[in-house]
Chains A and B, each alone.
Chain A
Amino acid sequence: MKTEMSVIVRTITRCVYPLILVFGFYVIMHGHLTPGGGFQGGAVVASAFALFLVAFGTKALKGRLNPHLLQSLEEIGALAFLGLAFLGIGTAFFYNILAGSGSVFGGAVPSGPNPGVLNSSGTLPFMNWAVGLKVMAGIACILVAMLVGSRKEAEE
């Protein structure tokens, strides 16, 4: 195993990692108001995970991360997306039944320039979260598989 990253890198990673997570979740959650959404926010969160992997190495993962859990999270995100698409099947697949209805996320969208109302757009925020979860878990799975797979053969 090569020498690990220096103290500076590891300390800064510990400081910056939660900020990246917060920004990623912000991008996912405000996807229906500002540029962003499920994939973009999920990729930001996954980049935090990539930073963690580069700074601390795969040794820090052993015992803490269960790859099967990551795969299950990924599949749950995908199934949640499909389930939300089925909600509107009364009219059509992907029909947005919650928009403008007054229930969860059912507020009206005011016209003209405004900062944006979080309580609008119906099923879109739920779909953003489902896609964000899938992308987070999916890219983390890819990184773990590629890093752990190549390390395993280097150690043999």
Chain B
Amino acid sequence: MSAVGSLPFVVSMLLVILGLYALLFKRNLIKMVIGVSLIETGVNLFLVTLGYRTAGVAPIYTYAPATTVRVLPTPQALTLTSIVIGLATTALLLSFAVLIYRHYGTLDVSKIKELRG
């Protein structure tokens, strides 16, 4: 793997664990959506860190001379796609949260389960 040490990977896994905690143990719907967003951020950070090379410059074809070390561009494309998918997912989750509020009048997951027969 790259020579940047394992600190970035530890941080991104920490973000994923925080997001999982928020998703599984919080009762407010919006906090659950924030948890999903945190997991996505952690995974995106992990992907970008995969491509880092020590003392590398931005991988723009017309920017860097051919002799310097360049950071890998493929993980950046993966992360961009993941961010777009995260946008669509968050928009859908929040729209359903708005609909649930309109029907039940509350955003508390435990109260919503009670109303269901």
Contact = CB atoms under 8 A, between A and B. Distances in A.
B106 to A, nearest CB: 14
Contacts of B87: 43, 139
Given A39-B80, A113-B62, 5 more contacts: A110-B62, A112-B62, A112-B65, A113-B63, A145-B95
Q: How large is the interface on A (under 10, 10 to 19, 20 to 34, 35 or more residues)?
A: 10 to 19
5 contacts: A34-B60, A109-B62, A112-B62, A112-B66, A146-B94
Interface string B82-112: 0010010001001100100110000000000
Interface string A127-156: 000000000000100100110011001000
Nearest to B92: A142
B25 interface: no
Interface in A103-126: 109-110, 112-116
Interface string B11-41: 0000000000000000000000000000000
Interface of A: 33-35, 39, 43, 109-110, 112-116, 139, 142, 145-146, 149-150, 153
A149 B98 contact: yes
Interface string B39-72: 0000000000000000000101111111000000
Contacts of A146: 94-95, 98
Contacts of B102: 149-150, 153
B62 A150 contact: no
Contacts of A109: 61-62
Contacts of A114: 62
Nearest to A37: B80
